[in-house]
Amino acid sequence: MARYYTVATSATLTCSAVCDFQNPGAYTWTVPSGVTEVTFEIWGAGGGGGAKCCCECYHGGPGGAGGGYSSVSVTTAVGCAYAVCVGYGGMVPTVGSCALHWCCYGQPGSTTYITGFNLSNFCATGGDGGHNTCYYICGCRNDPGTGYGGNVVACGAGGAIQGYSDAYFWRMNHSGSAPFTGGSRPHSGDHCCPCMLGYPGVFPGGGGATVMPNICCCCSQAGAGANGLVRIHY
């Protein structure tokens, strides 16, 4: 059963009962003595937020989308080795310019997965990168990640835009969250702002914030998507 995620500060690769893989990369987990059933929970990584578009400063797009989620309980055997891969969050896009009427995208988050005995296509894909817009609101899609191969699967949330006005050049944009996690990152803007870095995604699997729009064309970078997570219960 899925749990609301909190960081397990004492988690190590030799822990008992619950084992977390919080850093992106490839690992191997071997079933310890006395264990005949195991539950795997996985979160895909979040997409990065959209970069600042210097060709038009007023229009900020949605933040990065959240990664997907999947969980499954399987019978297993002592000594079985499972290959674990934790997804990387979408990278922070740099300050830059783009041609008029195009979008400046963040990078998507990558897939988290586990392979091994009694698992089939067990994975959680990453969320799309967020985008910023030049001159007008483009119809760019911002798809969240999805879970596959589990008893319980869920999609993350896409980035969103709230509150837009041509008169005041104001907008609030949100990144997407991953299922059963701590939520999204808002980023609002009005008139001028200092040079700043957007909020990173909420771990695990949250999308990074797209930078706020402003009439001064200030330099800004969007937030990175949060990494994925593998949690093993046994």
- State residue 13's pLDDT score: 40
- State residue 162's pLDDT score: 62
Give the rounded distance of the alpha carbon of 233 from its chain centre: 23
- State residue 140's pLDDT score: 58
What are the residues facing 233 on neighbouring strands?
18, 39
* Span 11-51, pLDDT tens digits: 334 455 889 999 999 999 999 999 999 999 999 999 998 77
- State residue 86's pLDDT score: 97
- State residue 197's pLDDT score: 66
Q: How far is CA 187 from CA 107, 116, 172, 193, 220, in A?
A: 18, 41, 6, 12, 12
pLDDT for residue 131 is more than 70: yes
- Identify which has the larger pLDDT, 194 or 234: 234
- State residue 173's pLDDT score: 72
